[in-house]
C-alpha cells in the first residue's frame, strides 16, 4: 500500500546524512531479513552518492569486484597489498562469516584477544578501521543494523585515520515505545491520548492506516536509535482496540510485518477483562481455569499469526481499567496468568505499576498518591513469574516536570523492572514549548537509589542486585510523541526527544548535550545550512537548558501539577486542588507543599532506602528542587540558595518568561539558515510558548502574592 499524505520530514535521517557511507564501496557479509534492511540502506545511499554495495551471504567466499575499482575508488585498500584482492572502504560482516577480507580478520582477532567478542551479544557490534578499511562486525544481523547507523552518525569520521577498536552493545536489552493510540478517536482524549502531533500513524478512520510507508519510515527512524519494541495501541484499552487481540489480529500482524525488518517486535496493550468482553466467559478472574485456558488459547493464536510477537502491556486497576482487584486477586495473580500464556512462546508481560486511587477525597490528608505504587507492589516482590516485567513510571506521581525517582525502583530486587519515561510532553509543554528532556532522563537514569553507585539504569538493565548479578533484566520504555504530523512530533525540535530516548536507552551514560549534537549534525546537515556553526550554537542555546526553563515558569520546587485539569496545558494553580485525583499543593496564607515525612506527614519518605529516606525527611537536607514535594513550609522558609520560597517563586517566574523571549529572539536570528517550513513551525511554537510562559508567570506570581501578602523584593509588576 502506498501513502496518501505528503512524505514526512526526514527527521534525523535525511539522504545527506548518508553521504559518507553512500560514497564508499561497501561489502556486506550477512543473510536474513535484517541484513536485507542493511543492504537496502546502503544501496539507497549508494544510489544517492555514487558508491556501491557488494552483498554476499555470510558463508561464501568474498567476491572479487572485477572492474569495480575503476569507478568510485576512494583509494582504499584492504591492507593486504595484493593487487587482485577485493577492495572495500567499509566491511559490514557477521563474525561467523567465512573468508573475510584481511582487515576484518585483523579486527576479529583483536576483538578475541581483548575478549570483547563475549560482550557483543545479539545486538552489539565492534567497529574499527584497519588498513584503510572501516570494519563493523557483529554476531547477529541486528548488530550490523545498529552498526550501520553508528557509521552514519560518525559520517566522515568513520573513514578517517585509524579508529581504535570499540565494542558497542546496548546496556538495556528492551528499549520500547508505547503508543497511546486509539483506533476510534476517544470523545475526550482524541485519537492519540496525550498526543500532540496529529492523528495516529497506525490507525485511520477506524482501520489500519493505508499509509504503511509512513510506518516503515518510522520503523527506520527507530532502528537508527536502537528502539526494538513497540506497542501499537493505548494502555487505556477501549472496546474497538480490545479486538486487536482476536478478530482484528490481522491488523497487528500487518504492522508487525512492517516493523520486523527494522528489528522491532510488536507488542499489544490488552484489556484485562477480555475473557468476558471478547471470550463471552462469565468472569475474567485470573485464577479461574477457564480464564487461564482462554488466555492460553488466544495467545497461541496470536503467535500463529505473529511468530515473533513481543507480548502484552497491561494497565490494570488503574483510572477505570479493570484488573485483578475486581476478582479479589493480587496483581501477581493477574500478571502471572498472562505470563503463563506467553511463556511457551518467549513473550513477556509488561505489567504497569501505575495503580492508585483516582477517586480520593481531597479532605483526607492521610491518603498519598505518591505512596500507592510502592504500597501495592513492594509486598509482591518475588511473586511475579520470570517473564513479567513490572513497568514503573520514573516518578511516584505522573511524569511531572520535577519528581523524585520512584521508590518502587529500589524496592523490588526479586522482580524484573522496566522504567517508564514520557517522550510525549504531556506535562512538559505538549510539544508547543521547547523542552529537551535528555537532561531529565539522564538525571533519572544516573540516580543512585542506594547512594552506592548502583543506578536506576543498572536496575533497568537487570544489574541492580547487590552482587551486580544479571537475570532480572527489565528495560526502558517511553510513551511515544509521534503522530501523523508532517514533522512527526508537532514541534520540530521535539524530534530531539525521541532521538534522545533511543540513544539513552541504548547507553544511559551518554551526555545529553552530546546526544543533542548528534541529533543536530544528522538533522541539520552542513550542506543544508549556510552557517552550521551559528545554527548549532543557537540550537544549544534554545534547547540545552529548556527543561529547567520550563520548570522555572511552571509549578515551583517539585510541587507539581498546577496545570489545567483535563488538558494538562497552561496554568491553573487550584485546578486540581479539590478534585479526587490526589494531586494537591495545600497552599494557604502561610505556606505550601505536601508533608510526606515520617515524622508528621504521609510517611512516604520511609519508602526510600538510606541515604534518601533521611535526605528527603529533613527540610534542611532535602534538595531545593524537591522541597515542596516532600515538605509543607512557610513562604518565608529559606532555601539553600539563600532565597525565601516566595522570592524564589517570583524570581524564577520572571526570569523563566524572560528567558523564553530571549530564546525566541535567538531563533529569529537564524532567518534563512533553516528550511522555511521548519522555521515557520518553530516560530509559531515559540510565539505560543512566550504567550503561555507569561500566563504562567502572571498567574503563579499573582496567586502567591495574594495568598501570602508578601511583596516581590524587586518590586516587579504582580497583578
Ligand atoms: C493513558 C496519566 C495521563 C493519562 C494516561 C495515564 C497512564 O494519568 O493523564 O492520559 O493514560 O497517565 O499513564 O496510564
| Residue 124 banded pLDDT, cuts 50, 70, 90 | very high
Q: Answer whether residue 82 shows pLDDT above 70.
A: no
Confidence of residue 85 (pLDDT cuts 50, 70, 90): low
Residue with cell 520572571: 654
Residue 89 phi/psi, 5° resolution? -95, -30
Beta bridge partners of 93: 29, 137
Centre of ligand 1 from the C-alpha of residue 306, in Å: 28
Give the cell for residue 1: 500500500
Cα–Cα–Cα angle for 81, 86, 92, rounded to 5 degrees:
115
Inter-residue long-range contacts of 567-574, CB under 8 Å, 24+ positions, other chains counted? 568/194, 568/426, 568/427, 568/430, 569/430, 569/432, 569/692, 570/692, 570/695, 570/696, 571/695, 571/696, 571/699, 571/700, 572/699, 573/699, 573/700, 573/703, 574/703
Catalytic, 398? Answer yes
- At 178-189, the pLDDT tens digits run 999 999 999 999
Q: Does ligand 1 lie within 6 Å of residue 159's CB atom? A: no
User: What pLDDT is recorded for position 304?
Assistant: 98
pLDDT digits (tens, 9 = 90+) for 187-198: 999 999 999 999
- Give the ligand 1 atom nearest the CA of 236: 1
Output the pLDDT for position 59.
93
236 lines ligand 1 (CB under 6 A): yes
pLDDT of 5 strictly over 80: no
Cell readout for 190 is: 482524541
Which protein residue has the closest C-alpha to ligand 1 atom 8?
A: 398
Closest CA to 472 of 385, 414, 425, 552: 414
pLDDT value at position 529? 85
In angstroms, the CA 520 to CA 539 distance is 8
Please compute, for residue 117, the number of CA atoms within 13 A of its CA located in the half-sphere on the CB side: 13
* pLDDT given for residue 471 in this prediction: 59
Angstrom CA distances, 140 to 34, 121, 144, stand at 9, 8, 7
Tell me, using a 6 A CB cutoff, whether residue 285 lines ligand 1.
no
Nearest-angstrom CA–CA distance, 405 and 103: 47
- Pick the range with the lowest mean pLDDT from 64-68, 213-217, 485-489: 64-68
As a whole number, the mean pLDDT across the chain is: 94
Ligand 1 touching residue 235 (CB < 6 A): yes
Establish whether residue 179 lines the binding site of ligand 1, counting it when its CB lies within 6 angstroms of any ligand atom.
Answer: no
Query: Binning pLDDT at 50, 70 and 90, where does residue 79 land?
Result: very low
Label residue 69 by pLDDT band (50, 70, 90). very low
How do residues 130-141 score in pLDDT, each as one tens digit? 999 999 999 999
Is 241 among the catalytic positions?
Answer: no
Q: Is the CB of 78 under 6 A from ligand 1?
A: no
Query: Are 488 and 8 contacting, i.e. CB atoms less than 8 angstroms apart?
Result: yes
Q: Is 368 a catalytic residue?
A: no
Indicate which residue's Cα is closest to atom 13 of ligand 1: 354
* Band of residue 662 on the pLDDT scale cut at 50, 70, 90: very high
Residue nearest to atom 11 of ligand 1 (CA): 236
> Residue 652 and residue 661: Cα distance in Å, rounded?
14
pLDDT at 92 over 60: yes
As a whole number of angstroms, the distance between CA 319 and CA 238 comes to 13
**What's the rounded Cα separation, in Å, for the pair 436 and 500?**
9
For residue 2, the model assigns a pLDDT of 42
For ligand 1, pick from 179, 194, 396 the residue to mutate: most ligand atoms within 8 Å of CB: 194
Give the chain's largest Cα–Cα span: 87
Q: How far apart are CA 571 and CA 581, in angstroms?
A: 17
Q: Which of 313, 398, 582 to mutate to test the pocket of ligand 1 (most atoms within 8 A of CB)?
A: 398
Catalytic hit among 71, 297, 319, 590: 319
In 291-380, beta strands by DSSP E: 311-314, 348-352
pLDDT higher than 80, residue 684: yes
- The active-site residue out of 89, 181, 317, 426 is 426
Which of the four pLDDT bands, split at 50, 70 and 90, describes residue 177? very high
The Cα–Cα gap between 92 and 526 comes to 26
CA distances from 295 to 236, 282, 333 (A): 19, 14, 13
Q: Is 399 in the pocket of ligand 1 (CB under 6 A)?
A: no
pLDDT over 80 at 9, yes or no: yes
Cβ-based neighbours of 490, under 8 Å, separated by 6 or more: 196, 197, 198, 430, 431, 432, 481, 483, 685
Out of 319, 369, 406, 564, give the residue to mutate to test ligand 1, the one with the largest number of ligand atoms within 8 Å of its CB. Answer: 319
Residue 193, ligand 1, Cβ within 6 A: yes
Residue with cell 489500519: 208
What distance in angstroms lies between residue 262's CA and the mean position of ligand 1's atoms? 28
Check if 317 has its Cβ closer than 6 Å to any atom of ligand 1: no
CA distance 505 to 172: 6
* Local structure of residue 61 (DSSP, 8 states): P
For the ranges 36-45, 179-188, 423-432, 524-533, which has the lowest average pLDDT?
524-533
Is the predicted pLDDT of residue 70 greater than 50, yes or no? no
Q: What is the pLDDT of residues 377-417, one digit of tens each?
A: 999 999 999 999 999 999 999 999 999 999 999 999 999 99
pLDDT at 68: 42
181 lines ligand 1 (CB under 6 A): no
pLDDT, tens digit (0-9, with 9 covering 90-100), for 34-49? 999 999 999 999 999 9
Angstrom distances, CA of residue 702 to CA of 559, 584, 718 = 17, 19, 6
Q: Categorize the per-residue pLDDT at 67 as very low, low, confident or very high, splitting at 50, 70 and 90.
A: very low
The answer to whether the beta carbons of residues 96 and 121 sit under 8 Å apart is: no
Amino acid at each position: 500500500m502506498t501513502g496518501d499524505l505528503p512524505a514526512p520530514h526526514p527527521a534525523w535521517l535525511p539522504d545527506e546524512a548518508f553521504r559518507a557511507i553512500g560514497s564508499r564501496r561497501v561489502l556486506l557479509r550477512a543473510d536474513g531479513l535484517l541484513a536485507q534492511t542493511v543492504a537496502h540502506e546502503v544501496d539507497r545511499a549508494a544510489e544517492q552518492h555514487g558508491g556501491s554495495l557488494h552483498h554476499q551471504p555470510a558463508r561464501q567466499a568474498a567476491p572479487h569486484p572485477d572492474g569495480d575499482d575503476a569507478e568510485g575508488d576512494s583509494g582504499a585498500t584492504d591492507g593486504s597489498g595484493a593487487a587482485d584482492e577485493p577492495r572495500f572502504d567499509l566491511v559490514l560482516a557477521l563474525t561467523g562469516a567465512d573468508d573475510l577480507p584481511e582487515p576484518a580478520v585483523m579486527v576479529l582477532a583483536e576483538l578475541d584477544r581483548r575478549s570483547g567478542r563475549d560482550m557483543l551479544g545479539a545486538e552489539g557490534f565492534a567497529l574499527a578501521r584497519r588498513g584503510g578499511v572501516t570494519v563493523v562486525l557483529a554476531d547477529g544481523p541486528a548488530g550490523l543494523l545498529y552498526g550501520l547507523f553508528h557509521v552514519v552518525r560518525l559520517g566522515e569520521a568513520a573513514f578517517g585515520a585509524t579508529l581504535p577498536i570499540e565494542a558497542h552493545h546496548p546496556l538495556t536489552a528492551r528499549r520500547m515505545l508505547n503508543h497511546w493510540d486509539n483506533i476510534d478517536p476517544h470523545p475526550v482524549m482524541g485519537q492519540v491520548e496525550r498526543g500532540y502531533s496529529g492523528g495516529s500513524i497506525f490507525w485511520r478512520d477506524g482501520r489500519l492506516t493505508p499509509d504503511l510507508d509512513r510506518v516503515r519510515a518510522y520503523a527506520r527512524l527507530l532502528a537508527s536509535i536502537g528502539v526494538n519494541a513497540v506497542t501499537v495501541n493505548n494502555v487505556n484499552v477501549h472496546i474497538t482496540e480490545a479486538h486487536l487481540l482476536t478478530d482484528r489480529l490481522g491488523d497487528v500482524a500487518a504492522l508487525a510485518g512492517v516493523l520486523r525488518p527494522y528489528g522491532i517486535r510488536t507488542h499489544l496493550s490488552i484489556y484485562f477483562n477480555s475473557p468476558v468482553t471478547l471470550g463471552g466467559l462469565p468472569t475474567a478472574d485470573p485464577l479461574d481455569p477457564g480464564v487461564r485456558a482462554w488466555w492460553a488459547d488466544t495467545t497461541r493464536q496470536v503467535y500463529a499469526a505473529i511468530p515473533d510477537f513481543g507480548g502484552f502491556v497491561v494497565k490494570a486497576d488503574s483510572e477505570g481499567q479493570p484488573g485483578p482487584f475486581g476478582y479479589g486477586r493480587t496483581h501477581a495473580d493477574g500478571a502471572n496468568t498472562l505470563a503463563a500464556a506467553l511463556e511457551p512462546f518467549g513473550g513477556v508481560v509488561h505489567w504497569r505499576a501505575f495503580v492508585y486511587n483516582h477517586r480520593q477525597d481531597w479532605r483526607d490528608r492521610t491518603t498519598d498518591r505518591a505512596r500507592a505504587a510502592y504500597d501495592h507492589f513492594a509486598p509482591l516482590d518475588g511473586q511475579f513469574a520470570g517473564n513479567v516485567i513490572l513497568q514503573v513510571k520514573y516518578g511516584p506521581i505522573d511524569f511531572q516536570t520535577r519528581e523524585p525517582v520512584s521508590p518502587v525502583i529500589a524496592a523490588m530486587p526479586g522482580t524484573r523492572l522496566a522504567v517508564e519515561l514520557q517522550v510525549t510532553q504531556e506535562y512538559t509543554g505538549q510539544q508547543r514549548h521547547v523542552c529537551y528532556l535528555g537532561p531529565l532522563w539522564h538525571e533519572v537514569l544516573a540516580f543512585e537509589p542506594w547512594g552506592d553507585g548502583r543506578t536506576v539504569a543498572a536496575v533497568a538493565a537487570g544489574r541492580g542486585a547487590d552482587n551486580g548479578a544479571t537475570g532480572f533484566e527489565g528495560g526502558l520504555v517511553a510513551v511515544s510523541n509521534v503522530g501523523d504530523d508532517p514533522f512527526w512530533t508537532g514541534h520540530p525540535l521535539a524530534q530531539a526527544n525521541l532521538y534522545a530516548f533511543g540513544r539513552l536507552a541504548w547507553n544511559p551514560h551518554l551526555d545529553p548535550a552530546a546526544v543533542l549534537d548528534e541529533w543536530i549534525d544528522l538533522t541539520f546537515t552542513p550542506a543544508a545550512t549556510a552557517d552550521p556553526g551559528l545554527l548549532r550554537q543557537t540550537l544549544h542555546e534554545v534547547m540545552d537548558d529548556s527543561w529547567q526553563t520550563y520548570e522555572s515558569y511552571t509549578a515551583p520546587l517539585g510541587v507539581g501539577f498546577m496545570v489545567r485539569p483535563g488538558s494538562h496545558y497552561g496554568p491553573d494553580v487550584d485546578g486540581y486542588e479539590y478534585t479526587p485525583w490526589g494531586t494537591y499543593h495545600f497552599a494557604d496564607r502561610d505556606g505550601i507543599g505536601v508533608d510526606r515525612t515520617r515524622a508528621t506527614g504521609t510517611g512516604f519518605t520511609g519508602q526510600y532506602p538510606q541515604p534518601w529516606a533521611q535526605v528527603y525527611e529533613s527540610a534542611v537536607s532535602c534538595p531545593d528542587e524537591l522541597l515542596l514535594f516532600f515538605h509543607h513550609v512557610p513562604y518565608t522558609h529559606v532555601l539553600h540558595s539563600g532565597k525565601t520560597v516566595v522570592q524564589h517563586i517570583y524570581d524564577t517566574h520572571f526570569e523563566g518568561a524572560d528567558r523564553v523571549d530571549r530564546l525566541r529572539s535567538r531563533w529569529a536570528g537564524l532567518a534563512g539558515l533553516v528550511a522555511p517550513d521548519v522555521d515557520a513551525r518553530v516560530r509559531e511554537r515559540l510565539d505560543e510558548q512566550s504567550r503561555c510562559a507569561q500566563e504562567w508567570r502572571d498567574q503563579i506570581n499573582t496567586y502567591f502574592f495574594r495568598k501570602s501578602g508578601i511583596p516581590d523584593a524587586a518590586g516587579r509588576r504582580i497583578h
